[in-house]
Amino acid sequence: MMDEDSSDHQIRAAAFEFLDRLTLQHGEVLPSTELRGGFSFDGQRVPLMGPQGIFKPAVLEWPLSITTVPVVPGKARPYEDELGNDGFLRYRYRGTEPGHKDNRGLREAMQRKLPLVYFYGVERGQYLAEWPVFIVGDEPQQLTFTVQVDDPFASGQDVADQLPDDARRAYATRLAKQRLHQLAFRHRVLRAYRDCCAMCRLHHRDLLDAAHILPDTHPEGEPATSNGLALCKLHHAAFDRNIVGVRPDSVIEIRRDVLEEIDGPMLRHGLQDLQGQALLVVPRGLRDRPNTKFLDERYQIFRAAS
């Protein structure tokens, strides 16, 4: 018979393997139905997600996962977690009582250096996952836990044996922040544009990107759908390099020198024929459509490059 610590470790390792399989099956964005259904371990069902943000399946003594729910347009998240620039995730307590059993469970997971899964909501029923993550701090006055992501291969097979190196965790968390925001942005933008390139209607998701109108380095370059365009690989590259511009009225322009070039059919049909054409696909929802202020600012950059 396995002791409690050995059983806990094996169940967490099995959970990580289950997530690997789900990612191969579904890609980066995972359906909550599969996460709530979980997997079987020694004849017992082990769900990875529950109705509350801090989740402990019945087969474990301490929490297995923490979840940030997706943004619902027009509504604030019940708990506003923060992926900071300092290499940490600030994860909100359950409620305002530090002694709540869920908060006590995460505190115990921190003391035992247990690896967990972090689920980041993209939209209702759709989540991105990072694992393993570790609780590395507790701030009762701010009602938050401090969380860091780790490289799943850093400690070999036994990721629970030791707390990972601070510098490595900080780096991994920054990468995770970038990845989560980019993937969530791509998912929302492609959904809003119905998996079509806004300029040419190419309908092949593997060949589509979510292009920022204002880059993410811009003060207003947030990963909001209104700051995005669904573009195929060709038109994304051309847009980023100011070969193609989009006016605030959504009409496409081609940089003059490229418009005057003589080359093969790809240049003619792929770029030059777009001159003066309006975007072929725009989101149905008004809040998802390109922000005209952002388009105007980006168009002025295009004009300067021309």
Where in the chain are the domains? 4-189, 196-305
What residues have CB less than 8 Å from 254, skipping those under 6 apart?
A: 243, 244, 245, 271, 272, 274, 275
The one-letter amino acid code at 15 reads A
pLDDT greater than 50 at residue 161? no
At 256 the three-state DSSP class reads helix
Q: Report the C-alpha dihedral over residues 95, 101, 107, 111, rounded to 10 degrees.
A: 180
Beta strands 126-139 and 144-149, pairing class: antiparallel
pLDDT greater than 80 at residue 252? yes
Chain centroid, CA 131 distance in Å: 13
pLDDT greater than 60 at residue 65? yes
Q: Report the C-alpha dihedral over residues 72, 73, 79, 82, rounded to 10 degrees.
A: 110
> Which candidate, 281, 293, 294, places its Cα nearest to that of 215?
294
At residue 196, the pLDDT reads: 97
DSSP of 82-107, one letter per residue? EE-TTS-EEEE-STT-TTSHHHHHHH
Tokens coding 37: 């259904």
The helix or strand, by DSSP H or E, that contains position 30, with its residue range, turns out to be strand 30-31
At residue 156, the pLDDT reads: 43
pLDDT greater than 80 at residue 209? yes
Biggest alpha carbon–alpha carbon distance for the chain: 77
In this prediction, residue 75 has a pLDDT band, given cuts at 50, 70 and 90, of low
Q: How far apart are CA 114 and CA 111, in angstroms?
A: 8
Contact 67, 127 (CB under 8 A): yes
pLDDT greater than 60 at residue 160? no
| Mean pLDDT computed over 7-25 | 95
pLDDT greater than 60 at residue 281? yes
Q: How far apart are the first and last CA of the chain?
A: 73
Q: How far apart are CA 93 and CA 142, in angstroms?
A: 9
Does 132 sit behind a cis peptide bond, omega within 30 degrees of 0 on the bond before it?
yes
Q: How far apart are CA 39 and CA 117, in angstroms?
A: 15
pLDDT greater than 70 at residue 154? no
In this prediction, residue 222 has a pLDDT band, given cuts at 50, 70 and 90, of confident
| Mean pLDDT computed over 253-263 | 92
pTM over 0.75: no
- The mean pLDDT of the chain is 88
